[in-house]
Structure 1
Amino acid sequence: MTQPTPAIVPQSAVRRLPRVALWLFCAAYVLPGLFGREPWKGNEFTAFGHMLALAEGVSDWFNPSVWGQAPELDALLPYWLGAWAIQMAPSWMSAGLAARIPFALLLGLTLATTWHGVYYLALSPQAQPVPFAFGGEAKPKDYARTIADGAVLALIACLGLTLLSHEASPILTQLAFVSCAFYGVAALPYHPRYSLLALSVGLLGLCLSGAPSFAVLMAAGSGFLCLLDRRSTSAKTGRQHALWLLAMGLAVAALASVLDVWHWRLHALHNDWSEWRSLLRLMAWFTWPAWPLAVWTLWRWRRQWTSLHWSRHLVLPMWFTALTVSTAMLTHSSDQTLLLALPAFATLAAFALPTLRRSVAALIDWFTLLFFSGCAFIIWVIWIAMQTGWPSQPAANVARLAPGFVPSFHWLAFVMALAATIVWAWLVVWRTAKHRHALWKSLVLPAGGAALCWLLLLTLWLPLLDFARSYKPWVQQIQSIMATQDARETQNVCLLSYGLDVGQMTAFRYHGGFDVKVAETTPTEQQARCPWLLVDNDSRPDLGHVVRLNEWTRVRTIRRPSDNNEDVTLYHHRQAQ
């Protein structure tokens, strides 16, 4: 016999979160970081290099490569999206901004599909609250809408989502398509046509985004769940859905084979406790604050997923979470893989809301209030120190960590940051004074605090972060050194590189306008036509095997500002002097 649901929810507890407030939450999270910055070093700039090469027609669309180097992931669609955006952008828009626009839309798609997926899971009879003897329990649609609102707030609050979801890189594309597939499976009993379309988009998108094996496993596991689910659909319909998912898995496998993107990048489980400890620490902060609520959900709803007649609103996000976390344990990029688990974690966290005790909810509120208010205070103090020099210690720390950085004041950024801080203060007062019975109340402060701190960082600290994480100041510094050696214009001037990665070479091509060539693939007679040579310091001992050192004069070693581990040595060809 199926045990009753642990959710006891009156109609007064499912007060609707105003749509304007939810949209503002999402906008305050998605839009900061889209404007006013250059592509940042790391995954974003490497991906941007391949997008720029496709847009300029120097790379093959089905075998992307730049300077002879293929992408780390066998992804196609993320680079296509960025390249198409660059090609369609107006002349006044930079390529970096154009490439980020489709990825900001993908983040918005992630939030939207997560909301709709959780909404249909919460509509299932097993997820509904206990009916009262004399009525007054929450209405099904109002309850489902409240749980879905809580899931989006939980997703926004996850600390691991912040940086990776705002980078124009393949992992954000994978996140959006995982969310589409999640919505498709969740809504199958209610809207089969739309669900099958979303599943098709999600699985094929994952295949083209560098995760074909993950898509096949997701299709197979979801089909198996559809086959076993006897309570949401009939046996015949369940078999049809399972067969369709199996067919989609085979189609993904076939497409991956045709495009030659079928590669496994898994390694054996760690046998070192320190590695496991690092992974557990990563999972703890990356999925915070969703994971404690998810654990609470599994405990309070344990009779609904441990019995023979399990509930799909629990088993489905559990399957997505288990698949993603187990994959993260077997990959070198655990943080990026864990990103794909956040929609499922947020779903489980949302179903904790109907069962939370008042003391637990108060603990969440107080911890969130202190943590995010403290973070906001630190951001403001350091910004004031950058502008005025007081307090002196934060100003000295900024000068030490980012040598050469000159602070600037921007009225628009200041007004937006001030407005966000005032809204946060109002939100704290509102949370403690009104709507105490709304289910989503415990996630308003975590989501609002995460959005506040991200907005403050990308307004007040944007010049500092852009200086520290972009390559532009470094390129300009090297150009100024070149100008002291040779007064000629550096635009379209040949630049040999040795030991530089794709991101660094793209930076000199994009920010400096150099015609970058790789020394290893450039014949010796053509090397003499390049007046400049940049060498990564780690590769300098082998430089004599690639170029004729007697033809080059060492100028100096230039370290990238704010990074002591990234420096290059500049050489000038003697014939150009």
Structure 2
Amino acid sequence: MSQPTNLTNSSSRSTFFLLAALCLAWILPGLIGHQPWKPDEAYSFGLIYHILQSGDWIVPTLGGEPFMEKPPLYYITAALFGKIFSFALPLHDATRLTTGFFMALALLFTGLAGRELWGKSHGRLTVLILIGCLGLLIRGHEMITDTALLAGFAMAIYGLALSRRRFALAGIWLGTGTGIGFMSKGLIAPGIIGLTALLLPLVFRHWRNRDYMRYLAIAFLASLPWLTIWPILLYLRSPELFREWFWINNLGRFLGFAKLGPSSDHMHYFKILPWFAWPALPIALWTLWQGRRTIFRQPEAQLTLTTFLVMMGVFSMASDARELYALPMLLPLSLLAAPGVNTLRRGAASALNWFSIMTFGFIAGVFWFYWFAMISGHPANQAERLLRLQPGYIPTIEPLHFAIALMATLAWLFIAFWARSLPRNPRAVLNSATGITLVWVIMMTLALPWLDAGKSYRSMITSMQQALPARHACISSSKLGEPQRAMLEYYAGILTKRTETHQGIRCDLLLVQGSANNPDAPPGPEWTEIWEGNRPGDRSERYWLFQRHPS
């Protein structure tokens, strides 16, 4: 009788190809087939669009104005993807492939780090745990710079893990990952990675050696081009914009004196991690508990735990907090969870396995049910309810979407039965990853046209364009957000003159953003409303276009 296939057996080619296929099935859906969505995708695409239109990659520009919140690595890379793939895809889809590129790097280097820390059998488990994390699912497919930041952190952590064996190569990876993180979101990545690299030899004896110091020197040299070229070019272009980026959007945003971003709840990440980092967090806690007598003397655990605690401390100290910012914490948690999988108690592994199969299977079934209801009109009450939520959606069968969703469902059923030959504990992690991937594939195929109908600004801007007078000088705007300004430029080629930054501007048209519950009156007796609109199904935002009476 043949031995059952072991998921953690590195000689098993079938499991390697299964993992590669699963990663592709997780990464690819959602990258194409929909418009830029509010809020983060829309304004990110506006910055990318400016690079494509102007060729200027030094000063990030949104809606005709400098936007110095983040360095431009993601935007530059996305512009290159746009140039390469726009012959076959809409421009916004071509640029969104950048997210898939950076997420592939993040998964690759996280798997390499898991293999380096715990042995060849655990790299795959680390990747399965990571793609199974609930918090990564949506954010890991959006057109946002945080995916590049995640890739930089994964590369840097791999460099730290490799330093015990090949310090020169490890230094290159650490420095490059730090540089990618810096060029993605500024000082936060060098700060966290640098603090982690310095704390390890200060706190733990194992990391104190001559090679480690040479390793840090190599890492510094490798990071230097990333840390200096763009900031120098920005400063030479405009010292004022450099100050706005460095002082206001880095230090000011973190310390709070710039009054940017949402106000911070310093317990925010403690509150969200139980669901955001599921299932990595509970398995990581089990790893610590199960090896509590010896694990803190292991350099592998010292690295992953120190990295996580530094991230948690730095993010919690920041003056603003969003669940988006917690993405990097999933990396050390997944790495710390990997060795705990094989030691899970029988009941815990079985609970995770059945929870994954039943929960994600049920959610997938619900998606299929509601898709059938919309297409067929039965049950009528459910179909009508969904169409009321998205009045801009016209039910149609997309043959390709249907085929992909059906194949994914059949593949999930096959893997669920095939996995019964695997040991119980790895099987639970596999079913968790495949279950969440199935839900995502169905959401980004069957439900994608319905979602896109309500999240896109395209129909609203087209409606506004039709109301524009044949002749007008310029359009000013009031309270108009960054996503809306970006989409106005993309869909209509309109750059508004914001009243917040253009004092005394006299345009003959005025676009106002407000709330549907508190409609804006005309800004003065000389203005007449000529258009009112909103995104289909959006009950909060409302827009008004006013025309000035001729003098």
Indicate the TM-score class for this superposition, using the shorter chain for normalisation: 0.7 to 0.9
Letter in 2 for 1:292: P
**How far does the alpha carbon of each residue in 1:203-226 deviate from its partner, in whole angstroms, 9 at most, with x for none?**
111111123143133123224425
Give the share of equivalent positions with the same residue, in percent: 26
Letter in 1 for 2:195: A
Aligned-partner SS, 1:18: helix
Letter in 1 for 2:31: L
**Quick one: structure 1 residues 251 and 109, their matched pair in 2 at CA, closer, same or farther if it must change by over 3 Å?**
closer
Aligned ranges for residues 78-477 of structure 1 at < 5 Å? 78-122=74-118, 144-225=119-200, 235-245=209-219, 258=232, 260=242, 261-262=245-246, 263-264=250-251, 265-266=253-254, 275=265, 279-306=269-296, 310-331=297-318, 332-432=320-420, 434-436=421-423, 440-477=426-463
**How far does the alpha carbon of each residue in 1:230-258 deviate from its partner, in whole angstroms, 9 at most, with x for none?**
65x88221332245456778887767975
Aligned-partner SS, 1:440: helix
Aligned-partner SS, 1:302: coil
User: How many residue pairs align between the two structures?
Assistant: 521
Letter in 2 for 1:57: S
Preserved contact between residue 219 and residue 245 of structure 1 (Cα < 8 Å): no
Preserved contact between residue 219 and residue 249 of structure 1 (Cα < 8 Å): no
**Quick one: structure 1 residues 191 and 391, their matched pair in 2 at CA, closer, same or farther if it must change by over 3 Å?**
farther
Preserved contact between residue 356 and residue 432 of structure 2 (Cα < 8 Å): yes
Aligned-partner SS, 1:536: strand
- Structure number with greater Rg is 1
> 1:551 deviation in Å?
4.3
Of residues 7, 16, 30, the one that matches 2:27 is 30
Aligned-partner SS, 2:395: coil
Letter in 1 for 2:282: P
Letter in 2 for 1:104: G
> 1:200 deviation in Å?
1.7
> 1:536 deviation in Å?
1.1
**Quick one: structure 1 residues 442 and 145, their matched pair in 2 at CA, closer, same or farther if it must change by over 3 Å?**
farther
Aligned ranges for residues 491-570 of structure 1 at < 5 Å? 494-519=474-499, 527-528=507-508, 532-537=509-514, 544=523, 549-570=524-545
Letter in 1 for 2:276: F
Q: What TM-score, normalized to structure 2?
A: 0.86
Letter in 1 for 2:385: N
CA distance, structure 2, for counterparts of residue 32 and residue 253 of structure 1: 33
> 1:76 deviation in Å?
2.1
> 1:302 deviation in Å?
1.6
CA distance, structure 2, for counterparts of residue 111 and residue 147 of structure 1: 13
CA distance, structure 2, for counterparts of residue 568 and residue 85 of structure 1: 33
CA distance, structure 2, for counterparts of residue 458 and residue 158 of structure 1: 18
358-367 vs 400-409, greater mean Cα deviation: 400-409
Letter in 2 for 1:335: E
Q: What TM-score, normalized to structure 1?
A: 0.82
Aligned-partner SS, 1:351: helix
Aligned-partner SS, 1:466: helix
**Quick one: structure 1 residues 206 and 513, their matched pair in 2 at CA, closer, same or farther if it must change by over 3 Å?**
same
Letter in 1 for 2:546: Y
> 1:533 deviation in Å?
2.9
CA distance, structure 1, for counterparts of residue 427 and residue 530 of structure 2: 61
**Quick one: structure 1 residues 311 and 246, their matched pair in 2 at CA, closer, same or farther if it must change by over 3 Å?**
farther
> 1:441 deviation in Å?
1.9
> 1:424 deviation in Å?
1.2
**Quick one: structure 1 residues 91 and 441, their matched pair in 2 at CA, closer, same or farther if it must change by over 3 Å?**
closer
**Quick one: structure 1 residues 55 and 543, their matched pair in 2 at CA, closer, same or farther if it must change by over 3 Å?**
farther
400-409 vs 106-115, greater mean Cα deviation: 400-409
CA distance, structure 1, for counterparts of residue 255 and residue 208 of structure 2: 41
CA distance, structure 2, for counterparts of residue 209 and residue 543 of structure 1: 41
Preserved contact between residue 216 and residue 250 of structure 1 (Cα < 8 Å): no
> 1:73 deviation in Å?
2.7
Letter in 2 for 1:507: M
> 1:404 deviation in Å?
2.8
1:74 aligns with 2:55: no
CA distance, structure 1, for counterparts of residue 96 and residue 203 of structure 2: 41
Letter in 2 for 1:172: T
CA distance, structure 2, for counterparts of residue 170 and residue 51 of structure 1: 11
Aligned-partner SS, 1:553: strand
CA distance, structure 1, for counterparts of residue 332 and residue 171 of structure 2: 19
> 1:359 deviation in Å?
1.9
